[in-house]
Amino acid sequence: MDSTDRLIAIMARLRGEGGCPWDREQTPRTLRPYVLEEAHEVAEAIDGGDWDELRDELGDLLLQVAFLSRIAEEEGRFRFDDVAAAISDKLERRHPHVFGDAQAKRVEDVWRRWDEIKRAEKAGTAEDGGPDASRLAGIPRGLPALGRAAAVADKASRAGFDWPEPAGIVDKLAEETAELRAALAAGDRDHAEEELGDLLFAAASLARRLKIDPEGALARATAKFVARFRSVEEGAAADGVRLEDLGPAELDRRWNAAKRAE
């Protein structure tokens, strides 16, 4: 018995008579949070560059695939093998330059052909009752907003909706910042929220153009802020003062000291 068959057998035992009470009562809906959690932990392992951790986290994510497949099999819908077969068929179908006679010498050619094949698979339109044929179809609404913005910008760029140079997006950031300033000056909170959204979308577009994962970039920026804040916090505590009792100038001085100490 190979490792995959062993996993499937274990899952069947856990869900079967005399198995684990917790596993037996799970449903796709109750497992949804675990799927998201495990996917994020895989991302963290990738960011950390720890291959051993990545192996373990991929295993935890694979468990969710096996778990959901087992529930589907019990309901007569599909099995784990069907999941593997479906993705294998899709990969071969969408890579005719590898598994067929098509030619694709550049990454751009691969993306263009991928989109063409995907649209052909989803032939029809939302208006006539068929699948959504938009180029933006298939981007999960449940993605983190920043990551979804980058995915939308990426798909739109393949249809020509893009700036010729990244500098154009930087100019757009400046434009959106000016519009946000104007909304704040006018005291219009709803307009400020709209302009802030435009600013964030432009930032996600720039990240996409620079081939930077915006979620990862923001995560690293947040981690950097946390480290500096903790340093300032600990320094203030060592001096017997609270951050709340320090003025802006002193807080700025301590912040810059924390940056220099990195």
**pLDDT tens digits, 79-115:** 999 999 999 999 999 898 889 888 887 877 777 777 7
- Convert the pLDDT of each residue in 23-50 to its tens digit: 999 999 999 989 989 998 998 899 889 9
Domain boundaries, the chain: 3-93, 97-138, 143-212, 217-260
CA–CA separation, 241 vs 253, rounded Å?
Answer: 15
- For the record, the structure tokens of 76 come out as 């007569």
Q: What is the CATH number of domain 3-93?
A: 1.10.287.1080
> What does the radius of gyration of the chain's CA atoms come to, in whole angstroms?
25
CA–CA separation, 47 vs 222, rounded Å?
Answer: 14
Q: Is it true that 3-93 and 143-212 share their CATH fold? A: yes
Name the residue among 84, 87, 108 with its Cα closest to residue 97.
108
Alpha-helical segments (H) within 49-188? 51-74, 80-93, 96-99, 107-121, 145-157, 166-185
Say yes or no to pLDDT of 202 above 90.
yes
Say yes or no to pLDDT of 149 above 50.
yes
143-212 CATH choice from 3.40.50.80, 1.10.1750.10, 1.10.287.1080, 3.40.50.720: 1.10.287.1080
CA–CA separation, 53 vs 40, rounded Å?
Answer: 13
Distance from the first to the final alpha carbon of the chain: 51
